[in-house]
Amino acid sequence: MKLENIISELHFIGDVEKAILQKISRDKKSIEKISKTAYQGEKLNFALCRRMPLTRLSVVIYLLTSKYEEYRAKGISDDVIFDTFRDVSLRATLYYKKTGKVGISKEDVIWFRHIMNVSIFKIGSLQFQPFQMIYLDEETLGEPYMTFTKEQKKALPSGSPVLNCHIQQGADLSFQSVDASFQRAKIFFSELYPNEQYKAFLCYSWMLFPPMLRNLSVKSNIKRFANRFSIIGDCPDSEQAIEFLFGSSMRKETSENTTSLQRLAIKHPELLGFACGIITL
């Protein structure tokens, strides 16, 4: 697929798309050269991370032309491919709103390795990634983090095939949409990898942290999403929650645009944390 078609399908906001088109038109040969080694590097220290934000974004988009063909070779439909690729435009929009600049962060570059590896798929409201079960505890990390029971580790051993779930900023977490995503994902992966027997859906997220959930309304979409999972581990690491809710650092004051969840987080930061949940298949 042509680069222009890819860009059109990503639905960038006007200023961002204009800057991308100008950059690619002006520096196409340079972008093509950079793309050849963009994702080379050890321990996620990719060469592309050392480039300027707009160059990072332009190179990722350029690489999507070949990634489109790789996804298609797996039999993936265009609607799933472009829903997956639109994570690029989503993160570019968030970066633009946060910094006033067109581009993506180093963290975004690292995250997009999943697209470069053709290993992540947006199905409805959620992203799914074939994965191996991992327990983020002292045994794995070498330092205290979460704690899991021996019974849990025996029931779902480390390395077991699972489907890792990711929630994007602004994802539709209504009951119907989430239900449809999980149902579609079961069918999708059974057809894509018929010889693989996935044992569970896995989710590591701030949205599953029990102390916060206990303070949410029963009508909360986040709470209803979390209630689908068996929470098997948690810790008071609030970094992801703060990033998701506030974009960077925690606010100390509220405004008329502050959401009820943000107000809760500001008033009771101790309710924020990180948790692991599974849905057994």
Q: What is the pLDDT of residues 63-78, one digit of tens each?
A: 999 999 999 999 999 9
Query: Tell me, what's the pLDDT at 251?
Result: 67
- The answer to whether 275 and 212 have CB atoms below 8 angstroms apart is no
- The answer to whether 95 and 101 have CB atoms below 8 angstroms apart is yes
- The number of CA neighbours under 13 Å toward the Cβ of 252 is 0
Helical ranges in 112-256 per DSSP H: 113-116, 138-141, 150-155, 175-192, 210-213, 221-226, 239-246
Question: Is pLDDT larger for residue 1 or for residue 85?
Answer: 85
| Position 255 pLDDT exceeds 80 | no
Q: What would the pLDDT profile of 235-247 be if each residue is shown by its tens digit?
A: 999 999 999 998 8
Query: Tell me, what's the pLDDT at 257?
Result: 73
Query: Tell me, what's the pLDDT at 190?
Result: 97
Both tokens assigned to 40: 């080379």
Query: Tell me, what's the pLDDT at 252?
Result: 67
Q: What are phi and psi of 205, to 5 degrees?
A: -160, 155
pLDDT, average across residues 85-100: 96
The CA distance from 191 to 219, in Å, is 34
pLDDT, average across residues 225-234: 98
Portions of the chain given CATH number 3.40.630.120? 122-280
**Which single residue is written with the structure tokens 């399908």?**
9
pTM metric for this prediction: 0.94
Q: What would the pLDDT profile of 19-51 be if each residue is shown by its tens digit?
A: 999 999 999 999 999 999 999 999 999 999 999
Query: Tell me, what's the pLDDT at 258?
Result: 82
Query: Tell me, what's the pLDDT at 232?
Result: 98
Both tokens assigned to 268: 């009771």
Residues 6+ apart with CB under 8 A from 74: 118, 192
Which fold is adopted by the domain 122-280? Aminopeptidase (3.40.630)
Both tokens assigned to 104: 């993506």
Both tokens assigned to 30: 């340079």
The CA distance from 246 to 230, in Å, is 27
Question: Is pLDDT larger for residue 255 or for residue 1?
Answer: 1
Type and span of the H or E element at 208: none
Q: What would the pLDDT profile of 173-216 be if each residue is shown by its tens digit?
A: 999 999 999 999 999 999 999 999 999 999 999 999 999 999 99
Question: Is pLDDT larger for residue 248 or for residue 208?
Answer: 208
Strands in the chain per DSSP E:
121-123, 126-132, 161-166, 200-205, 230-235, 274-280
Provide the sign of the torsion angle of the four alpha carbons 7, 37, 166, 164, taken in this order: positive
Q: What would the pLDDT profile of 102-136 be if each residue is shown by its tens digit?
A: 999 999 999 999 999 999 999 999 999 999 999 99
